[in-house]
């Protein structure tokens, strides 16, 4: 369900009831941060409509309803989504096909954010592909008023040369698309709201402190400038620069890392992973007048920048060269465009640094793993409109050929 449909006054759970009174209907927004259910779906899920929204969850299109109305956000949404979606990536042949496609682009490693990491690692052991995967336990949904605990899993020795499991991923807010990213000023297209802060300060401090106690690098989804400020405030409260500068906390998306917050992020050792699909929606976000996604400004300030797809199988944004094309043109804010060399570094050297793997990955030099790709064209010289057509001719992982294009 697109944003226009989500906010259409005639698109309501009651309208779904009229169209499908007996059939369960569950519409998910494209971000998977919001959804809408008809009465039959409520019954199918067994939802207690008298219960208040869970911790970090919201009801209503405006995310301000205190009672059930058939529209869900964040932790009220994700458990439902997980129940009805059978992740095709957990089918072995689908995963093999996914890896094969990545290798054709010259991609040699991925980070998988997993709600159930043990199941993924078991599958990776079965598939046993020549491809590197970092599995990061992901805790986005909660039960009642308690945060879901993360599941750390040991990797079998047979695949430990290619698969690792470390880190923690949390989601601190929604997204600008549904106006649930918390802003420091009202949304330009709906002055009546400025989004919702999912967690109180004490919970954010607990998430931060637990990652330190677990000695795990932390990845945090945060898109609003108010929630970004909250995160930085609580980092200051749990050790400040002395405690965080070397821990490489990574902000995912970084839409709300406003100009006044960038110096603080730099001082606290924060890294930022940007995603081209959100850079590409910059024109839409600009209409809201409050959020923009910095790229060049981060590099100018010395904040490490990672480029990543944030994608799923079948999405065009898995193509790293399409992402590179967008990041180096940045239609909404051309002044934030970066060079192709900077984009390549963000995908490789800085990405390895962000997961504490710079000693073995990210660059080609003696002593590091021979993960490399020979490309079909010179990505520094090809025309912008042709950049996304780039493919790998030969991809190697650990010095072994993982993909070789057929001669044409």
Provide the CATH number for the domain around residue 238.
3.20.20.140
R_g over Cα of the chain: 21
Read off the pLDDT of each residue in 331-345 and give the average, rounded to a whole number: 93
Dump pLDDT digits (tens) for 134-148.
999 987 666 777 777
Least confident of 31-35, 63-67, 144-148, 158-162: 144-148
Indicate whether 210 belongs to any domain: yes
Dump pLDDT digits (tens) for 257-289.
999 999 999 999 999 999 987 776 655 555 665
Indicate whether 129 belongs to any domain: no
Is the CB of residue 109 less than 8 Å from the CB of residue 134? yes
DSSP run (H or E) holding 402: strand 400-404
Selection from 89, 107, 109 nearest residue 98 by Cα: 89
Tokens coding 142: 């909660």
Residues 391, 368: Cα–Cα separation, whole Å: 24
Is the CB of residue 136 less than 8 Å from the CB of residue 160? no
List the domain range (segments joined by +) for residue 188: 167-363
- Asked if 209 and 80 sit in the same domain, the reply is no
Q: How far is C-alpha 83 from the geometric centre of its chain's CA atoms?
A: 20
Total domains present in the chain:
2
- Asked if 54 and 188 sit in the same domain, the reply is no
Q: Which percentage of the chain shows pLDDT scores above 90?
A: 77
Dump pLDDT digits (tens) for 190-242.
888 999 999 999 999 999 999 999 999 999 999 999 999 999 999 999 999 99
What's the confidence (pLDDT) of residue 317?
Answer: 66
Residues 126, 312: Cα–Cα separation, whole Å: 21
Indicate whether 391 belongs to any domain: no
- Asked if 80 and 171 sit in the same domain, the reply is no
Cα distances from 338 to residues 41, 260, 328, 388, in angstroms, run 46, 20, 5, 16
What's the confidence (pLDDT) of residue 287?
Answer: 60
Q: Which percentage of the chain shows pLDDT scores above 70?
A: 93
């Amino acid at each position: 369900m697109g944003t226009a449909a989500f906010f259409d006054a005639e698109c309501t759970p009651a309208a779904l009831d009229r169209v499908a009174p007996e059939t369960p209907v569950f519409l998910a927004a494209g971000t998977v941060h919001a959804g809408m259910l008809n009465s039959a779906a409520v019954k199918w899920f067994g939802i207690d409509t008298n219960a208040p929204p869970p911790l970090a969850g919201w009801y209503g299109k405006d995310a301000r309803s205190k009672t059930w109305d058939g529209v869900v956000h964040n932790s009220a949404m994700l458990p439902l989504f997980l129940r009805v979606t059978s992740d095709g990536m957990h089918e072995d042949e689908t995963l093999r096909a996914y890896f094969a496609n990545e290798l054709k682009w010259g991609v040699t490693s991925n980070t998988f954010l997993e709600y159930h990491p043990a199941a993924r690692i078991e599958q990776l052991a079965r598939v046993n592909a020549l491809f590197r995967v970092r599995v990061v336990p992901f805790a986005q949904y909660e039960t009642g008023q308690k945060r879901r605990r993360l599941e750390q899993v040991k990797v079998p020795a047979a695949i430990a040369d290619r698969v690792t499991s470390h880190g923690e991923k949390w989601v601190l807010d929604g997204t600008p698309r549904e106006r649930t990213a918390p802003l420091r000023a009202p949304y330009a297209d709906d002055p009546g709201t400025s989004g919702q802060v999912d967690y109180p300060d004490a919970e954010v401090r607990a998430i931060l402190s637990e990652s330190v106690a677990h000695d795990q690098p932390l990845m945090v989804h945060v898109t609003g400038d108010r929630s970004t400020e909250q995160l930085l405030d609580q980092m200051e409260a749990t050790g400040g620069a002395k405690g965080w500068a070397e821990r490489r906390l990574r902000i995912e998306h970084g839409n709300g890392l406003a100009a006044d917050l960038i110096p603080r992020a730099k001082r606290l050792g924060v890294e930022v992973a940007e995603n081209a699909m959100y850079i590409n929606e910059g024109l839409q976000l600009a209409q809201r007048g409050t959020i923009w996604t910095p790229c060049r400004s981060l590099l100018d300030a010395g904040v490490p920048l990672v480029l990543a797809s944030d994608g799923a199988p079948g999405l065009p944004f898995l193509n790293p060269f399409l992402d590179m094309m967008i990041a180096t043109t940045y239609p909404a804010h051309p002044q934030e465009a970066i060079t192709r060399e900077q984009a390549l570094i963000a995908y490789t050297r800085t990405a390895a640094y962000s997961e504490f793997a710079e000693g073995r990955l990210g660059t080609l030099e003696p002593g590091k793993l021979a993960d490399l790709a020979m490309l079909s064209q010179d990505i520094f010289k090809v025309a912008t409109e042709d950049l996304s057509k780039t493919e790998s001719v030969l991809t190697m992982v650990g010095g072994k050929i993982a993909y070789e294009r057929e001669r044409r």
